[in-house]
Structure 1
Amino acid sequence: MPALKPLSFLEKVNQYPNSTYIYHTKIEENLLMHNHNKHQLTYVEGGAVYLNTKDNSYFLPARHFVWIPAGMEHVIELKTPISMIRNIYIPPRILNNKPFYGQMGIYPAPNLILEMILFTENWTGNIFGKEKDKYQYIKTLGNIIPEMNKNPMPVVLPTTSSKRLSPILNHIHLHIEQPLLLKNVATHFGFSSRSLSRLFRTTLDISFLQYVKLSRIIFSMEKLLQTEMSISEISYASGYNSLATFSNTFYNLVKVRPVEFRKSNREISK
């Protein structure tokens, strides 16, 4: 009798619809865009991480977790080495019907939530209802998250597979420290200013200026958490000629000043 083919990671997550599934790893799973039949709670220790969906790219800072609704296509992209990825997969049937669970979001990890996630570090694989204590623990964790996390991070960068726009977006990211004027970028790629502006609006539903602004702030968030650069150095590396303008723009989008963001979100090296 031929040996059974081992189940893939996604097959293990989906195998038992009513079980919770826990997976802590130091190695990135080599997954393409995918979905599963359970909600996903992910907390990443160390490193710069993006969550990509078909439409948007989300930066996941330290001391934040991401909630991914069941059925949503996504992929997690690691930009730097990480210490640990902690994944908890929760079947929708054991939670209530609050709108929170149906929306993707990145949220600060309060101490209680963080401690509850870390408490599961020695658990792995499926947890069934017969394991009452563990099963109820995960159910409780899932049910208190909406009560403690009302406002997701507002910095979301739209993405596209458009062959016309993708090279322009890549150009923006590669030259984020430089002046990025609509007229100059349009000319570089053979567009008029009006046609390139329209392409951004129709494809991404935001303006060229707003896309550049979001890209600069997300870039600065990475530098704030992953380097020892000063706030002033990060400001200029992100394309700002004025530290005050950078700080004010950062505050308007992230709701805290850059120095506060770095202080409250950086993990202490172990």
Structure 2
Amino acid sequence: MDTKYYLTEVDKIPESIFCYHNLMGENFIESHSHNKGQFLYTEGGVVHIKTDSRTYYLPARHYMWIPPKTKHAIYPNSPKVIMRNLYFPLDAMTSDFYKNEAIYPINNLLLELLLYTKSWNGDVTNSQKNKYAIGIAFKALLEQTTSKSLHFELPHPKDRRLVAIINYLNKQIHEEHLLPQLASKFSMTNKTLYRLFKKDVGMSFIKYYTKLRIFKSLEYLMNSDYNISEIANKVGYNSLPTFSDTFRKIMDKRPSEYRKSKGVYLES
């Protein structure tokens, strides 16, 4: 079942649970939405999920919940990325958990159940009693076993000036950028640029820029042979300890620890 085909199939049977496990290759999935809620888990790399308002960075061994009717596009950063998707019908009485897009770490119970479904493809209906019961239990466990959501996302800028600045930061991520020099380059005062970040994306320049660098480093950690020091340099850090400490504050583990988890479940 190819990517474009499966997108047309998800909602064909409104009451079914739809399953899709696939190696992404070089593909990206264009902006679309479903009437069903989507559980998206990835292995082997980082996936960018772009909604109308922000870009999420979904690292391996985490999952994202995407509520019904949420427009989103999906961009894998590596041809090795595997996506595991389960789509669930939701009723009007569903809890707030299923109404909000968010990223969570996956726990062992959910992971074992998810891998149990890896041979499933397409619709699972209530006439398939055993499969359907497992699917419904999986959906309930998402809410019951969830931990705190992780803020692995950055809001999209709306102001054209800030769009240009953030595009520049992305292209020159290997350099260190300080607010005064950045303001000067784009013919602004320090105060104007500071206020622009706060007003448009709701966070300071430092916070936005720091998260951008760390999220970019995830891609190098998962899909390259660069050592940690080289990766630090590639996202503009001259100090390895500073990079490692900053990474831990955002990702809750050191970059070396994060890299050790690479590919653990790829052969499951």
TM-score by length of 1: 0.88
Per the TM alignment, residue 33 of structure 1 is displaced from its structure 2 partner at its CA by 2.3
- How many Å apart are 1:48 and its aligned residue? 2.6
Deviations 1:53-91 (A, max 9, x none): 122212111111211111222111112213432211011
Could you tell me which residue of structure 2 aligns to residue 103 of structure 1? Answer: 100
Give the counterpart letter for 1:41 in structure 2.
F
Are 2:75 and 1:77 equivalent residues in the alignment? yes
> CA 1:114–1:268 in structure 2 vs 1: closer, same or farther (change >3 Å)?
closer
Corresponding residue SS for 1:43: strand
Contact 1:44 1:82 in 2 (8 A): no
- Contact kept, 8 Å, 1:39 with 1:90, in 2: the verdict is yes
Which residue is 2:199 aligned to? Answer: 202
Q: How does 1:155-174 map to 2 (within 5 A)?
A: 155-174=152-171
Q: Which residue does 2:115 correspond to in 1?
A: 118
**8 A Cα contact 1:159 1:204, kept in partner:** yes
Q: Is the 8 A contact 2:103 2:152 kept in 1?
A: no
SS in 2 for 1:165: helix
Partner Cα separation in structure 1 for residue 117 and residue 213 of structure 2: 36
Cα shift at 1:11: 3.4
Alpha-carbon offset, residue 214 of structure 1: 0.7
Cα offset for 1:216? 1.0
**Among 88, 105, 108, the residue aligned to 1:90:** 88
Name which of 165, 176, 179 aligns with 2:176.
179
TM-score by length of 2: 0.88
Q: Is the 8 A contact 1:61 1:265 kept in 2?
A: no
Structure 2 counterpart of 1:136, from 124, 133, 136: 133
Q: Are the structure 2 counterparts of residues 27 and 264 from structure 1 closer, same or farther at C-alpha, using a change threshold of 3 Å?
A: closer
Aligned-residue sequence identity (percent) comes to 35
Distance in 1 (alpha carbons) for counterparts of 2:6 and 2:194: 42
How many correspondences in the alignment?
263
- Summarize deviations over 1:129-157 as a string: whole Å, max 9, x none: 22211111110111112232212223322
Counterpart in the other structure of 2:146: 149
Unpaired runs of at least 5, structure 2: none
Q: Does 1:235 align with 2:220?
A: no
Cα deviations by residue, 1:14-66 (Å, 9 ceiling, x for unpaired): 22221111122234765432221111011222233111112221211111121
